Structure 1
Amino acid sequence: MELHQVRYFLAVASTLNFTRAAERCNVAQPALTKGVQKLEQELGGQLIYRERRLTQLTDLGKEILPMLERTLASAEAVRRRAQEFQRKEVAPLKIGLAPSISASLVLDPIAETAKFVPGLHVELREEAAEKLVDLLLKGEISAAMVGEVQDMPARIDDWSLFEERYVAVLAPTHELANHSSLGIDDLRETILLERSGCDITPKIQRSYSPEEPFHLRHSGSNDLHLQHLAAAGFGVIIAPEHMPRLATLKTIPLEGDLVSREVRLLAVQGRRYSPALDAFVKVARLRDWSAVVRTA
């Protein structure tokens, strides 16, 4: 079945006249008639009665008419979408963010990208860093912003954007809330909330307090769950300073910036970039993040 055959049939169904249908389709009547006949052969049944001046749809023709109308409408929508994409009138950009990466960090790069790509259509998706790498390779997202990723595949392009420190996140009513900064001794004396699978607390433990273990009483696999525990006074979270957090929580710097991380931009190596992705990668890589990260 070819689209021009569908178009010819729909024109006849609308006009019930082969001459007017041919004029509407801008083809010769014999060509239109031949196209409809080929469609009938492919579908295995007559679609149109032709009796002198009388032209009517058969029962089969009436049955498939709405389906063919939808088929043609869908095909024309696909064609329009493709033309809009080529003219940059529609430019999808799917960005993955690790749970600890604030969406506020990508707003300015997105706004700058929109200046070059007027039809920009952004979709933000939050997943664990390793999951985002998998989504990149599958083509389900365009780019990702993450912290540390274990075993980065060779097919992933990886650019460092900026470095951010870790801070203590706690309730304003916590006994340490009035401190201007927290040192290793403060961390030893309080209860720390640990995110499952996160290596930050053990890293601080190994580096600064190998002989005196931290008090790790509560844990969770979800940042928001841990924040609710912290807000209820159950302990302190060690988290990236730009991690999205509850408004009821307070952050306190760690003395000497005990630990920090690089925030990285990922894309698939060797894959042809869309206009939107190309602009976003360039804007993000050329951006001066130094002033942004301290105020985000």
Structure 2
Amino acid sequence: LKDAHLKVGIMCTIGPRRFTGLLTDFNMRHKGIQLQLVEGVPSRLSQLLEAGEIDVAIMSSSEKFPERFDVTPLFRERFMLAFPTGHRLTQHETVPISAIDGEIYLRRVNCEYWDHLSHLCVERGVKLRISYSSEREDWIQNMVAGGLGICFLPEYTAVIPGLQVRPVTEPEVTRDVCLVTVAGRRFSPAVSTFVGAVKSYGWAEGASPVSMRRSAA
């Protein structure tokens, strides 16, 4: 393929760490395909996908995807709790939801699992004090590292130095990251090639989860 174009929607809360290997391999094998990544929240990506403004989407949902989409799960990741160095939660290898009662929470506005996570807190009588919120993942992480509060993060998020992260437990919370296409829609050669590459990629052998301890260096 030469001078072929491909638009891939990426949910804004999905980090690049699990996809770098795929994109590197795809570029080596298919240099004639120009790939554009389009970032967005699930509702926006769904609209773009239906309208044909993007070809495929990589996203997750806390609810079942609509039947108008074909969905292929790629990998599962846990939710982690992020907090600053020296925080009282550092002593935990995993953090039960009950352990964060009374903490100041910095909300990632685009987190598609926030309603689910907050419901888990309410069910267990856990009260969080919502402080700042932002659409910017980097701002939230920097504020957490600066001691302004804690936040939930997906397992394969690119984490800045200065953050401590631990898996959330009791209960464990996970999400499936999926390849999503419009059911019955005919693929162009470029889209078909990309979909095949994504489905055949060794996701189970992918990148390691984020390190649980990051230095401030």
| Residue aligning to 1:101 | 14
* Conserved 8 A contact 1:193-1:219: yes
Q: 1:136 to 1:200 in 2, by over 3 A?
A: closer
Equivalent pair of 1:116/1:279 in contact (CA under 8 Å): no
Which residue number corresponds to residue 133 of structure 1?
46
Matched, 1:265 2:192: no
Structure 2 equivalent of residue 142 of structure 1: 55
Asked if structure 1 preserves the Cα contact closer than 8 Å seen for 2:62 and 2:116, the reply is: no
Change (3 A) 1:244 1:143: farther
Q: Deviations over 1:48-76 (max 9, x none)?
A: xxxxxxxxxxxxxxxxxxxxxxxxxxxxx
Letter aligned with residue 191 of structure 2: L
Aligned twin of 1:290: 204
Q: Which runs of 5+ in 1 are unaligned?
A: 1-87
Q: CA deviation at 1:112?
A: 3.1
Change in Cα spacing, 1:271 to 1:205, as seen in structure 2 (3 Å) is closer
Unaligned 5+ segments in structure 2 are 211-217
Distance 1:244 1:132, change over 3 A: farther
Structure with the larger RCO, 1 or 2 (CA within 8 Å, 6+ apart): 2
**TM-score between the two structures when normalised by the length of structure 1:** 0.62
C-alpha displacement at 1:115, in angstroms? 4.7
The count of residues paired between Structure 1 and Structure 2 equals 209
1:240 deviates by 0.8
The structure whose residues are more often helix, as a share, is: 1
Aligned counterparts, 1:7-46, within 5 A: none
Shift of 1:203: 3.1
Contact 1:129–1:149 (CA<8 Å) still a contact in 2? no
Q: Is the CA contact (8 Å cut-off) linking 1:113 and 1:276 kept in structure 2? A: no
Question: In the alignment, which of 68, 72, 83 is matched to residue 155 of structure 1?
Answer: 68
Relative to structure 1, the CA distance from residue 115 to residue 278 in structure 2 (aligned partners, 3 Å threshold; closer, same or farther) is: farther
Q: Is the 8 A contact 1:157 1:268 kept in 2?
A: yes
1:137-216 aligned within 5 A: 137-148=50-61, 152-196=65-109, 198=111, 200=113, 202-204=115-117, 206-207=119-120, 210-216=123-129
In structure 1, distance between residues paired with 2:190 and 2:91: 46
TM-score by length of 2: 0.81
Which residue of structure 2 aligns with residue 280 of structure 1?
194
What's the offset of the Cα at 1:295? Answer: 4.5
Moved more, 108-117 or 203-212: 203-212
Structure label with greater radius of gyration = 1
Alignment of 1:215-234 (within 5 A): 215-222=128-135, 223-234=137-148
Aligned-pair CA distance for 1:198: 4.3
Q: Using a 3 Å threshold, how does the CA distance of structure 1 residues 90 and 221 change in structure 2: closer, same or farther?
A: same
**CA 1:149–1:201 in 2, change beyond 3 Å: closer, same or farther?**
closer
Superposition deviation, residue 171 in structure 1: 1.9
In terms of fraction of residues, the more strand-rich structure is 2
1:195-240 deviations in whole A, cap 9, x for unaligned?
3464645534544662523223224241333223212211111121
Tell me, yes or no, if the aligned pair for 2:13 and 2:111 is still in contact at 8 Å. Answer: no
Give CA deviations for 1:106-127 in whole Å, capped at 9, x if unaligned: 2222233335433021111211
Aligned-partner residue type, residue 36 of structure 2: E
Q: CA deviation at 1:105?
A: 2.2
The match for 1:249 among 163, 175, 188 is 163
